[in-house]
A and B are shown apart, each in its own frame.
Chain A
Amino acid sequence: MRKDYRLEKRKYVIGGFLLFIALIYLIRLFDLQINDSKYKTYADNNAFLNKTVYPSRGLIYDRNGELIVYNQPAYDVMMIPRDVQAFDTLDFCHTLNITREQFDTRLHDMKRTPGYSTYTPQVLITHLSAEDYGRLQEKLYRYPGFFIQKRILRQYKHKTAANVLGNIREVSQTDIERDPYYQRGDYCGDLGIEKSYDEYLRGHKGAEVLIRDAHGRIQGRYQDGALDVAPISGRNLKLSIDLGLQQYAESLMVNKIGAVVAIQPKTGEILAMVSSPTYDPTLLVGRQRGREYRNLVNNPYKPLFDRSLMAAYPPGSTFKPGQGLILLQEGIINTNTAYPCSHGFISGGLRVGCHGHGSPIPLKPALQTSCNAYFCWGFKALVDKRSKYGTPADAFEIWKHHLVSMGYGYKLGVDMPSESRGFLPNAPYYNKRYGEGRWSANTIISVSIGQGEICATPLQIANVCATIANRGWFITPHVVKEIQDTVMPDIYSEKRFPTIDSRWYDEVAEGMRMAVTGGTCRLTNLPDIQVAGKTGTAQNPHGRDHSAFMGFAPYDDPEIAVCVYVENAGFGATFGVPIGSLVIEKYLKGEIAPERKYLEQRMLESNTIIYSGVKKH
């Protein structure tokens, strides 16, 4: 047959068409497979479900190994919006025991939270009850895109030490930005040691890479779990808190506003740390947390405010032993220097009242009787000693420097969040207030007896007491004794020495011992324990005086140093001393002697909160 060469050329058109299409496809494949890496991510998002495995949070024990805080499982219903398919919403709500409206509201809220993504797990409902969990688990296969995330909640064996323990809460956006460890829906410590030791307690999250098929069914572990990371449990903490002592001190502080801090002087370990009024830590667990937290915030007595280390109170007469140390150290007085007291300190038209006792008296009896005049004279002698210091301002700075070394005016560094630094004025402060060179000891005389501008936290006062108990040193107070498998930071074992020679401490300690045996603190004079102490009655311009006490025992080998501070309770001797003595007795003897039971009873039953001036709403 004759070949038609004109038509034969058309093979090029057909072949060319094929090559043209093939080229387009090749370019497309190049674009899909090499140029664009998003498909790899899509495929991984399809196939792999990265499931976080939450570690169990570290347990918390008291110093005697008594369990205080442990974990209980909680179940959150999670959803990956993109994977959710049409489902029986009513049945779902019924299973979860919520109304359709609640479900819709929750869904709506979820979509508005920052960081919402349809590709990542979102928290739908938190803290499912075990019952609801069981019901949902059975039906879960009907709801693709939903799954249950097991979480850890805290549970408290004893409803005590809420201020020390703190609690845990869901992380906020700021937490997530601050610490990359956190993801939406995680929990972090809030308040107390839950916050300050969060990094130890939380452990390390694990991850499971699961393979998921097109219907959302889990097919197993990717590479038999080769990429899985096992969670590492959080470290357990052993507190220095003595649970029994803490509970006892809390019971004594019922219906009172204030704080009790007890420190073991040799170690700086805090044995008890009470802030009153306190609250039940179990309130802040679970789904009702938000509501309960709001209630606590709105409570007029501010139970969330940890008075033991956040409240800055005028130390009152508990300030005097420190004053004595400074005067001795600076050579303003010696052990025999006596100052007169004519029912007070009277100088240049100024009068600071005092009560009846002999006059003139040296340091020890002055501490015994809590003589205001003595410390005013001493302070005046120091500040106005131009021959030694030049100006009052320079002298004041020296005075202040000694106080700082004792732990006043700055944070002590306790292992708790939100410690207050108290307040210690400096010379520029007064220069600003009165004008440079226009103030002297008399202008600011009230600071000498722990009034005026001076403020200290109960923790700082207790720490000064521990320093005197140790006769010249202290260890930064702390509430955690041991971290499992970890060495405590050095600062909680290093001795800190204030700028006072150790020889002067015995003088002051003796004065405090005398206050117990024959002075203001006679109520703490226990028959078989040698207690040393100092009362404090801090004038309160807003209402009744605050009652304070600091003391340590036994006198020769101190085991415990205590500070008690009760707001609006009047004289130091009326509330501070009894509570302090009971705490000391309880700790050292384990029980209260029968003849002192009446005191215990009185403290348990008394109510000073009525004097706080807070109107109950």
Chain B
Amino acid sequence: MESRSINYRNQESPLKGIDWPTVIIYILLVVAGAVSIYAASYDFDNASIFDYSEYSGKQLTWIGLSFILGLGLLLIDARMYETYAYPIYVAVMLLLLVTIFIAPNIKGSHSWIVLGPMSIQPAEFAKFATALALAKLFSGYNFNLNASTGNYMKALAIIFLPVGLILAQNETGSALVYLGLFFVLYREGMSGLILMSALLAITIFVISVKYTETMIVGIPSGQFTVYLIVMVTMVTMLAMYSKVADVARNVALGFVGCGLVIWILELCGVDVPGKYVLPGMIAAACLYCLFETLRLRVTKITAAIGAAIIAVGFMFSVNYVFTSVLKPHQQMRIKVALGIEDDILKAGYNVNQSKIAIGSGGFAGKGFLKGTQTKLKYVPEQHTDFIFCTIGEEEGFIGTSLTMMLFVILILRVIVIAERQPTTFGRVFAYCVASYFIVHFCINIGMVIGLCPVIGIPLPFFSYGGSSLWGFTFLLFILLRIDASRRSHH
């Protein structure tokens, strides 16, 4: 058959059909990463970049090996991955399990297997294994996520097995990464409401706990923001989900009108009791929606009402639990974990110093190897989790925005690749890759610039460490291999 002959030819030349943009971005990121590690670990009396005793020297070795690894991965037949997805998954899960027991205690976590001079973190390799298993599950004949609860359970089992094992290793950050796979479930048919309510719940929790200092119309700005989010959500749901455009419009107009009145009253110096007015506005909107539900007989409108009530209730219960049930030291711990409280001397020290490092970079940065924050070790973990600081300090806004751009382009490219996959296996795997990158990108950079809680996960290709680099290389090059062979399926 013709297609088979093409396939053979492809096998002869593994580089044919490779998505070069991805490779180029990969190389750019890896090189930029090596340079950053050199800068981050550079000392005033430091030796050469190739010195093996230094982080940069070791990282160069890892990079060299990862190029070989990438090439090796390209040589393997794409179908091998699909065929051996489950055995690989099972093998890696066993490795994770073994790790819990044989790994030495390094800063409280048991996630590193020490092999002579080097250490390996199996959790990084569990990423691609889990992605393969998930892709394999979805590529099953006529598999439909929404067809049965059992399908959901299978998918969730594949995701949560590594999460559980990694949590058992005390590597909370790495475990959290797997929650990004919900993007994959969403793409494959999971209701958007679940994704949205999860995101909403997280947002409401963080906002209402975090912003309690400044007051707007007599209520904390966090609460105020939550009310705004609830209003926007209601309107969006009415328009997009319930498909009742005129109801959405009326509710929106009502909110905007009330908002204008409140704003004008505030300008005139009247103290609007936001404590009653804002919930009142939402309650009024709910009553109106209820009326429309009965009039138009569109039951989907009730979803918007329910969402609003649940969201507001959630906010109040969060506040209640946080302020009345939790003890002050527990509150403190959560606040510090969320980066709310500036516990500058203890937990908040890293974030504070990393903000200083990035902020002091200015527009163009202090220049390569000229960063004082990083050179003088003010930022702990600056060559690993806080590597972004070095870029921010030495290369400035130009460096940080370019780096972010490279990541965004890479992830968008992966999504493009995902969508052009002829097989579900390829698509799901690609989305898994994209999800991992999104989570790492969002959490790592968000933590370094003080927007996210400090969750110790590396910035792909930049943070020092062979396991992380290899883990992402596995993900990307398996994807490239699968993508390169996609034409054989036509």
**What is the minimal beta-carbon distance from A290 to any residue of chain B, in angstroms?**
36
Q: Which one of A11-19, A191-199, A235-243 is at the interface?
A: A11-19
**What is the minimal beta-carbon distance from B173 to any residue of chain A, in angstroms?**
18
Tell me, in angstroms, the Cα distance from A219 to B43 when the chains sit together. 10
User: Are the CB atoms of A33 and B358 closer together than 8 Å?
Assistant: yes
User: Are the CB atoms of B187 and A38 closer together than 8 Å?
Assistant: no
User: Are the CB atoms of A214 and B377 closer together than 8 Å?
Assistant: yes
Q: Which one of B266-274, B275-283, B411-419, B457-465 is at the interface?
A: B411-419
User: Of all chain A residues, which has the CB nearest B379?
Assistant: A214
Question: What residues of chain B lie closer than 8 Å to A47, measured between beta carbons?
Answer: 372-373, 376, 378
Partner of A32, one of B355, B376, B434: B355
User: Are the CB atoms of B362 and A34 closer together than 8 Å?
Assistant: yes
User: Are the CB atoms of A33 and B412 closer together than 8 Å?
Assistant: no
Q: Which of B187, B407, B415, B422 has the most C-beta atoms of chain A within 10 angstroms of its own C-beta?
A: B187
User: Considering the complex, which residues of chain A in the window 57-97 have a beta carbon less than 8 Å from any beta carbon of chain B?
Assistant: none
Partner of B376, one of A1, A26, A214: A214
Q: Does A485 have its Cβ within 8 Å of any Cβ on chain B?
A: no
Q: Does B473 have its Cβ within 8 Å of any Cβ on chain A?
A: no
**What is the minimal beta-carbon distance from A219 to any residue of chain B, in angstroms?**
6
User: Are the CB atoms of B356 and A10 closer together than 8 Å?
Assistant: no
Question: What residues of chain B lie closer than 8 Å to A29, measured between beta carbons?
Answer: 358, 392, 397, 400-401, 404, 449
Tell me, in angstroms, the Cα distance from A46 to B445 when the chains sit together. 23
Q: Does A213 have its Cβ within 8 Å of any Cβ on chain B?
A: yes
Question: What residues of chain B lie closer than 8 Å to A28, measured between beta carbons?
Answer: 449-451
**What is the minimal beta-carbon distance from A489 to any residue of chain B, in angstroms?**
47
User: Are the CB atoms of B44 and A219 closer together than 8 Å?
Assistant: yes
**What is the minimal beta-carbon distance from B67 to any residue of chain A, in angstroms?**
27
Q: Does B254 have its Cβ within 8 Å of any Cβ on chain A?
A: no
User: Of all chain B residues, which has the CB nearest A28?
Assistant: B449
User: Of all chain A residues, which has the CB nearest B435?
Assistant: A14
Q: Does A24 have its Cβ within 8 Å of any Cβ on chain B?
A: yes
Q: Does A134 have its Cβ within 8 Å of any Cβ on chain B?
A: no
Evaluate whether A211 and B376 lie within 8 angstroms (CB atoms) in the complex, with A22-B408, A39-B356 already known: yes
User: Are the CB atoms of A32 and B449 closer together than 8 Å?
Assistant: yes
Q: Does A36 have its Cβ within 8 Å of any Cβ on chain B?
A: yes
Partner of B363, one of A10, A33, A43, A212: A33
User: Are the CB atoms of A214 and B187 closer together than 8 Å?
Assistant: no
Q: Does A30 have its Cβ within 8 Å of any Cβ on chain B?
A: yes
Question: What residues of chain B lie closer than 8 Å to A32, measured between beta carbons?
Answer: 355, 358-359, 392, 449
Q: Does A42 have its Cβ within 8 Å of any Cβ on chain B?
A: yes
User: Are the CB atoms of A19 and B408 closer together than 8 Å?
Assistant: yes
User: Are the CB atoms of B187 and A7 closer together than 8 Å?
Assistant: yes
B158-200 near A? 1/0 per residue, CB < 8 Å: 0000000000000000000000000100111100100000000
**What is the minimal beta-carbon distance from A424 to any residue of chain B, in angstroms?**
66
Question: What residues of chain A lie closer than 8 Å to B380, measured between beta carbons?
Answer: 214
Residue count of chain B within 8 Å CB distance of chain A: 50
User: Are the CB atoms of B404 and A22 closer together than 8 Å?
Assistant: yes
Q: Does A220 have its Cβ within 8 Å of any Cβ on chain B?
A: yes
Q: Does B423 have its Cβ within 8 Å of any Cβ on chain A?
A: yes
Q: How large is the interface on A (under 10, 10 to 19, 20 to 34, 35 or more residues)?
A: 35 or more
B128-165 near A? 1/0 per residue, CB < 8 Å: 00000000000000000000000000000000000000
**What is the minimal beta-carbon distance from A45 to any residue of chain B, in angstroms?**
9
User: Are the CB atoms of B392 and A46 closer together than 8 Å?
Assistant: no
Partner of A46, one of B186, B356, B431: B356
User: Are the CB atoms of A18 and B404 closer together than 8 Å?
Assistant: no
User: Of all chain A residues, which has the CB nearest B362?
Assistant: A33
User: Are the CB atoms of B187 and A46 closer together than 8 Å?
Assistant: no
Question: What residues of chain B lie closer than 8 Å to A40, measured between beta carbons?
Answer: 359-360, 362
Q: Does B70 have its Cβ within 8 Å of any Cβ on chain A?
A: no
Q: Does B438 have its Cβ within 8 Å of any Cβ on chain A?
A: yes
User: Are the CB atoms of B189 and A38 closer together than 8 Å?
Assistant: no
Question: What residues of chain B lie closer than 8 Å to A11, measured between beta carbons?
Answer: 187, 415, 418-419
User: Considering the complex, which residues of chain A in the window 494-538 have a beta carbon less than 8 Å from any beta carbon of chain B?
Assistant: none
Q: Does B396 have its Cβ within 8 Å of any Cβ on chain A?
A: yes
Q: Does B257 have its Cβ within 8 Å of any Cβ on chain A?
A: no
User: Considering the complex, which residues of chain A in the window 189-246 have a beta carbon less than 8 Å from any beta carbon of chain B?
Assistant: 211-215, 219-220
Question: What residues of chain B lie closer than 8 Å to A4, measured between beta carbons?
Answer: 189
User: Are the CB atoms of A18 and B411 closer together than 8 Å?
Assistant: yes
Q: Does A25 have its Cβ within 8 Å of any Cβ on chain B?
A: yes
Question: What residues of chain B lie closer than 8 Å to A24, measured between beta carbons?
Answer: 451
Q: Does A131 have its Cβ within 8 Å of any Cβ on chain B?
A: no
User: Are the CB atoms of B373 and A33 closer together than 8 Å?
Assistant: no
User: Are the CB atoms of A15 and B415 closer together than 8 Å?
Assistant: yes
User: Are the CB atoms of A43 and B449 closer together than 8 Å?
Assistant: no
Question: What residues of chain A lie closer than 8 Å to B441, measured between beta carbons?
Answer: 18, 21-22
Tell me, in angstroms, the Cα distance from A13 to B411 when the chains sit together. 13
User: Of all chain A residues, which has the CB nearest B425?
Assistant: A1
Question: What residues of chain A lie closer than 8 Å to B367, measured between beta carbons?
Answer: none
Question: What residues of chain A lie closer than 8 Å to B372, measured between beta carbons?
Answer: 43-44, 46-48, 211
User: Are the CB atoms of B415 and A33 closer together than 8 Å?
Assistant: no
User: Are the CB atoms of B376 and A36 closer together than 8 Å?
Assistant: no
Q: Does B71 have its Cβ within 8 Å of any Cβ on chain A?
A: no
Evaluate whether A39 and B376 lie within 8 angstroms (CB atoms) in the complex, with A14-B187, A25-B451, A30-B397 already known: no
Tell me, in angstroms, the Cα distance from A4 to B424 when the chains sit together. 11
User: Are the CB atoms of B186 and A14 closer together than 8 Å?
Assistant: yes
> Interface on B for A, CB 8 Å cutoff?
44, 183, 186-189, 192, 353, 355-363, 372-373, 376-378, 380, 392-393, 396-397, 400-401, 404, 407-408, 411-412, 415, 418-419, 422-424, 431, 434, 438, 441-442, 445-446, 449-451
| A-B CB contact pairs (8 Å), 17 listed | A8-B419, A10-B186, A11-B418, A14-B183, A17-B438, A29-B358, A32-B358, A33-B359, A33-B362, A33-B397, A37-B362, A39-B359, A40-B359, A44-B360, A46-B376, A214-B353, A215-B377
4 interchain residue pairs of minimum CB distance = A39-B359, A43-B360, A47-B372, A213-B376
> Interface on A for B, CB 8 Å cutoff?
1, 4, 7-8, 10-11, 13-15, 17-19, 21-22, 24-26, 28-30, 32-34, 36-40, 42-44, 46-48, 211-215, 219-220
17 additional A-B pairs beyond A4-B189, A25-B449, A29-B400, beta carbons within 8 Å, are A1-B422, A7-B187, A7-B189, A10-B187, A11-B415, A13-B186, A14-B183, A14-B434, A21-B438, A21-B441, A25-B404, A25-B446, A43-B378, A43-B393, A213-B378, A219-B44, A220-B44
